Amino acid sequence: MPRSSERSAPSPLLRCLGWSTFVLCALAALLIGLGFVWFSWRVPAEEVSLDRDADGIVALTGGASRIADAIELLASGRGKRLLISGAYRATNSNEISRLNPEFGRWVRCCVDFDRSLNTLGNAIETKRWAESRGFRSLIIVTSNYHMPRALAEIAHQLPDVALVPFPVVTDRQRAERWWGHWATTRRMLIEYVKYVFAKARMALSPDAGNRRTS
């Protein structure tokens, strides 16, 4: 008679469930990995030359070079006005002019600010700004790794507005590949996770672009 402490072999049903769970987890890991590869491939490694102008320019804050590049685009006639989105409360035209004295004339006449706190807020304020001015095309200025999520958020809010990306790439990003340094890899992974969650949220609220802001 077998001892009571001996365990019986797993039933076929349990074995099937175990293998199914393993296969599903493996497929999920594969999809996540492929998604990250696709996302990293979409992140521009170099700044681009614009092939068209737009009605407006939007700079999403987070780096001084973003604002400087956006003001230079404004001064070169690439857009009629510039929105600096997500600016600190202390940031104003005088401060920007002090930091960019060669572009002071354009800053004083043609730059607007909003105080949004995140990328979704940037998109909502961009929608309000573009609608109030009747803009149908926008140049979006932000860092290269932030560009996919920024474009997705703004396109969700403004589906009928043409968006022209202008990714800002730092000298360090040009000199090194993202997978060669843990800090850069970590930043890319975090941005990918944020992108996935943003796309999931958009899928649950597909009509955001149909609501006009006041």
Residues of the chain with pLDDT > 90: what percent?
47
The answer to whether 119 and 60 are in contact (CB under 8 A) is: yes
In angstroms, the Cα distances linking 66 to 5, 47, 105, 182 are 68, 12, 19, 24
* Lowest mean pLDDT across 28-42, 114-128, 131-145, 187-201: 28-42
| Residue 177 three-state SS | coil
Q: What is the CATH number of domain 56-210?
A: 3.40.50.620
Question: What digits encode the pLDDT tens for the residues 115-144?
Answer: 999 999 999 999 999 999 999 999 999 999
Per-domain residue ranges for the chain? 56-210
Separation between Cα atoms, residue 150 and residue 36, nearest integer Å: 17
The answer to whether 146 and 191 are in contact (CB under 8 A) is: yes
Q: Is the pLDDT of residue 19 over 90?
A: no
Model pTM?
0.82
Residues of the chain with pLDDT > 70: what percent?
86
Q: Is the pLDDT of residue 59 over 50?
A: yes
Question: Which one, of 104, 166, 127, lies nearest residue 96 by Cα?
Answer: 104
The answer to whether 155 and 58 are in contact (CB under 8 A) is: no
Question: What is the maximal distance between C-alpha atoms in the chain?
Answer: 96
Q: Of the spans 29-38, 60-69, 139-148, which averages the highest pLDDT?
A: 139-148
* Lowest mean pLDDT across 84-98, 125-139, 156-170: 84-98
Q: How far is CA 74 from the centre of its chain?
A: 21
Does an H or E element contain 168, and which? strand 162-168
Question: What 8-state DSSP symbol labels residue 113?
Answer: E
